[in-house]
Structure 1
Amino acid sequence: MSELKKAIDQISKDRGIDRDLLIDTLEEAVRSAVARKYGETMDIEVAFNEDNGEIEVFEFKVVVEDVHDPISEISLEDAQEHDPNARIDDEMGFPVKVEDLGRIAAQSAKQVIIQRMRDAEQEIIYEEYKDRVGEISSGIIQRRDRTGWIINLGRTEALLPKDEQIPRERYKRGDRVQAYIVDVLKESRGPQVVVSRSHPDYMVELFKREVPEVADGTVKIMGVARDAGLRAKVAVMSRDRDVDPVGACVGIRGSRIQNVVQELKGERIDIVVWSPDIAMYAQHALSPAVISRITVDEEEEALEVVCPDDQLTLAIGRKGQNVKLAAKLLGWKIDIFTQSRYGELNADRQGMDQIASVAEVAMDKFFAAGFNTIESITEATDEELLAVDGLTESKIADMRVAINMLIPGDATVEESVEETEEAIETPVVEEEVVEETTEATKEESETPADGEEEE
Structure 2
Amino acid sequence: MAITSANQLELLQTAEAVAREKMIDPELVVEAMEESLARAAKSRYGSEMDIRVSIDRKTGRATFTRVRTVVADEELENYQAELTAEQAKPYLDDPKVGDEIKDEVPPVEMGRIAAQSAKQVILQKIREAERDRQYEEFKDRAGTIINGLVKREEYGNVIVDIGAGEAVLRRNEKIGRESYRPGDRIRVFIKDVRREVRGPQIFLSRTAPEFMAELFKMEVPEIYDGIIEIKAVARDPGSRAKIAVISYDGSIDPVGACVGMRGSRVQAVVNELQGEKIDIIPWNEDQPTFLVNALQPAEVTKVVLDEEAERIEVVVPDEQLSLAIGRRGQNVRLASQLTGLDIDIMTEEDESARRQAEFEERTKLFVDSLDLDEFFAQLLVSEGFTSLEEVAYVEQDELLVIDGVDEGTAGELQARARDHIDAINRKALEHAKELGVEQSLIDFEGLTPQMIEALAEDDVKTLEDFATCADWELAGGWTTENGERIKDDGTLEKFDVSLEEAQDLVMTARIQLGWVDPEELAAMAAEAAGDEAEDDAEAEAPA
Aligned to 2:30: 23
Distance of aligned partners of 1:104 and 1:25 in 2 relative to their CA distance in 1, 3 Å threshold: same
For 1:24, give the aligned amino acid. Answer: E
Residue in structure 2 matching 1:95, options 97, 100, 105: 105
Cα deviation code 1:196-234 (max 9, x no counterpart): 000000000000010001111101000000000000000
* Shift in alpha-carbon separation, 1:342–1:391, aligned structure 2, 3 A: farther
Corresponding residue of 2:211: 202
8 Å Cα contact 1:37/1:105 also seen in 2 = no
Question: Is the 8 Å Cα contact of residues 149 and 184 (structure 2) preserved in structure 1?
Answer: yes
1:7-406 equivalence runs, <5 A: 7-59=14-66, 88-89=90-91, 93-98=103-108, 100-146=109-155, 148-358=157-367
String of CA shifts for 1:32-69, please: whole Å, max 9, x gaps. Answer: 2212332222242311113421222133689xxxxxx9
What one-letter code is carried by the residue in structure 2 that aligns with 1:95?
A: V
Superposition CA RMSD, Å: 2.8
- Provide Cα deviations, 1:123-162, integer angstroms capped at 9, x if missing partner: 0001111110011111122212236111111221111111
Q: Which has the larger radius of gyration?
A: 1
Residues 227-260 of structure 1, C-alpha deviation per residue, up to 9 Å, x if partnerless?
Answer: 0000000000000000000000000100000000
Residue 343 of structure 2 aligns to a residue whose secondary structure is: strand
Note the residue ranges of structure 1 that are not aligned, 5 or more in a row. 63-68, 74-86, 365-385, 393-455
State the alpha-carbon separation in 2 of the partners of residues 325 and 270 from structure 1: 10
Structure-2 separation of matches of 1:70 and 1:182 = 54
Change (3 A) 1:15 1:281: same
Change (3 A) 1:12 1:92: closer
Q: 1:300 and 1:58 mapped to 2: Cα distance?
A: 73
Q: Given the two structures, how large is their TM-score scaled by the length of structure 1? A: 0.72
CA pair 290-97 structure 1, distance change in 2 beyond 3 A: same
Residue 427 of structure 1 corresponds to none
Unaligned runs of 5+ in 2: 1-7, 70-77, 83-88, 93-100, 371-384, 388-423, 431-543
Pick closer, same or farther for the CA change 1:7–1:356 going to 2, 3 Å.
farther
Question: Given that residues 290 and 308 in structure 1 are in contact (C-alpha distance below 8 angstroms), is that contact kept between their aligned partners in structure 2?
Answer: yes
Residues 362-400 of structure 1: CA distance to partner in whole angstroms, max 9, x if unpaired? 999xxxxxxxxxxxxxxxxxxxxx9xx9699xxxxxxxx
Would the alpha carbon gap of residues 52 and 248 (structure 1) be closer, same or farther in structure 2, given more than 3 Å must change?
same
Paired with 1:275 and 1:181, the residues of 2 have a C-alpha distance of: 30
State the shift of 1:16 in Å.
2.6
Distance 1:51 1:140 in 2: 40
Name the CA shift for 1:358/1:37 in 2 (closer, same or farther; >3 Å): farther
Letter in 2 for 1:2: L
Contact 2:63 2:104 (8 Å CA) reproduced: no
Q: Could you tell me how far apart the structure 2 residues matched to 1:113 and 1:330 are?
A: 55
Do 1:352 and 1:363's aligned partners in 2 also have CA atoms closer than 8 Å? Answer: no
Could you tell me the TM-score, scaled by structure 2's length? 0.60
In structure 2, what is the Cα distance between the partners aligned to 1:160 and 1:94? 54
Question: Residue 92 of structure 1: CA displacement?
Answer: 6.7
**Cα 1:242–1:44, aligned 2, differ >3 Å: closer, same or farther?**
same
Contact 2:65–2:102 (Cα < 8 Å) also in 1: no
Separation in structure 2 between the aligned mates of residue 181 and residue 20 of structure 1, nearest angstrom = 30
SS of 2:48's equivalent in the other structure is coil
- Partner Cα separation in structure 1 for residue 281 and residue 45 of structure 2: 75
Q: Please tell me whether the aligned partners of residues 12 and 30 of structure 2 are also in contact (alpha carbons under 8 angstroms).
A: no
| 2:3 maps to 1:3 | no
- Residue by residue, what CA displacement relative to the aligned partner does 1:323-382 show, whole Å, maximum 9, x if unpaired? 110011000011111111110011112222333445559999xxxxxxxxxxxxxxxxxx
Q: Report the Cα distance in structure 2 between the residues aligned to 1:275 and 1:220, rounded to whole angstroms.
A: 12
Report how far residue 19 of structure 1 moved.
2.6
Q: Give the Cα–Cα distance (whole angstroms) in 2 for the partners of residues 232 and 277 of structure 1.
A: 21
User: What corresponds to 1:383 in structure 2?
Assistant: none
- Aligned residue number for residue 395 of structure 1: none
Q: Secondary structure at the match of 1:131?
A: helix
Task: Please give the alpha-carbon distance, in whole angstroms, between the structure 2 residues aligned to 1:346 and 1:72.
Answer: 91
8 Å CA contact retained: 2:298, 2:320: yes
CA distance, structure 1, for counterparts of residue 355 and residue 60 of structure 2: 91
CA contact (8 A) 1:59 1:96 kept: no
Query: Shift of residue 27 of structure 1?
Result: 1.2
Aligned length, in residue pairs: 350
Evaluate the alpha carbon distance shift between residue 291 and residue 58 of structure 1 in structure 2; reply closer, same or farther with a 3 A threshold.
same
Deviation at 1:17, TM superposition (A): 1.6
Q: Bigger shift: 328-337 or 144-153?
A: 144-153
Which stretch shifts more, 89-98 or 113-122?
A: 89-98
User: How far does the alpha carbon of each residue in 1:415-447 deviate from its partner, in whole angstroms, 9 at most, with x for none?
Assistant: xxxxxxxxxxxxxxxxxxxxxxxxxxxxxxxxx
Name the SS of the counterpart of 2:141 in structure 1.
coil
SS, match of residue 195 in structure 1: strand
Q: Kindly indicate whether the alpha-carbon contact (under 8 Å) linking 1:234 and 1:271 is maintained by their aligned counterparts in 2.
A: yes
SS in 1 for 2:258: helix
Query: 2: CA distance between counterparts of 1:198 and 1:223?
Result: 15
Judging changes above 3 Å, is the alpha-carbon distance between structure 1 residues 208 and 60 closer, same or farther for their aligned structure 2 residues? Answer: closer
Whichever residue aligns with residue 318 of structure 2, its letter is D
Residue 409 of structure 1 corresponds to which residue in structure 2?
A: none
Structure 1 CA distance for aligned equivalents of residues 230 and 261 of structure 2: 19
CA contact (8 A) 2:254 2:282 kept: yes
| 1:47 partner letter | S
Query: Could you give the per-residue CA deviations for residues 67-124 of structure 1, whole angstroms, max 9, x where no partner exists?
Result: xx99779xxxxxxxxxxxxx945667243224x1322112111100110011011100
* In 1, Cα distance between equivalents of 2:325 and 2:81: 85
